[in-house]
Amino acid sequence: MALSTSSAITLNINGEKHTLPVDHRTTLLDALRDRLDLTGTKKGCDHGQCGACTVLLDGSRAVSCLQLAVAAEGRVITTIEGVAQGEELHPVQQAFLDLDGYQCGYCTPGQICSAIAVIEEHAAGWPSAATADIRPEAGVPPLTADEIRERMSGNLCRCGAYVSIVQAVARAAEAEAAQSPPTTGRLSGPDDGAGTEDVEMTV
């Protein structure tokens, strides 16, 4: 007797539950775009290398082209359509808008989802490959331009809007820190190189 190659699954996306039958080989990206009409998540390379399809799974970033839809059942999925609060843009969205952190806009949904996770990871004290001192007692590292570049390096922008993207992430991090000041460590100050006016990025 042949085993079934499809199942009915329920996905929790942006606070709403969607039940749909899917082939077990269907990626989360294809389920979002083709089955649920959530086309904000973009298909770029389809190999997990460009970051255009980035979504948040339980608050952590994931490339949805490499995530099977059946494996996402029971997890909290947030796409670009779900990051704003009603008519109020998320601070990262607002920063991208204010600082022109996009050109064609194709990679922007994935950039924004990644940036949201980057800011939370940094505030939680997660080090990156650019972090000079990774000892726990060192606290939260300054969110310098180099830190932002490294942490966002999985998201490619074919238009080359990297300078504005770094500035936007820095501004959004400052806005979030102002709302919830960290208890340890610090975000970057004027001398840390992550200000929204003077960040430079060599591409």
Whether pLDDT at 199 is above 80 = no
- pLDDT value, residue 139: 86
What pTM was computed for the model? Answer: 0.86
Can you tell me the distance from the alpha carbon of 114 to that of 147, in angstroms, rounded to the nearest whole number?
A: 14
pLDDT in tens, 169-195: 999 999 988 887 554 444 343 344 444
Q: Which two tokens stand for residue 172?
A: 């959004």
Whether pLDDT at 18 is above 70 = yes
Can you tell me the distance from the alpha carbon of 119 to that of 98, in angstroms, rounded to the nearest whole number?
A: 18
pLDDT in tens, 109-158: 999 999 999 999 999 999 999 999 999 888 888 999 999 999 999 999 99
Residue type, 200: E
Which residue ranges form the domains of the chain, and what is each CATH number?
6-82 (3.10.20.30), 91-179 (1.10.150.120)
pLDDT in tens, 78-121: 999 999 999 999 999 999 999 999 999 999 999 999 999 999 99
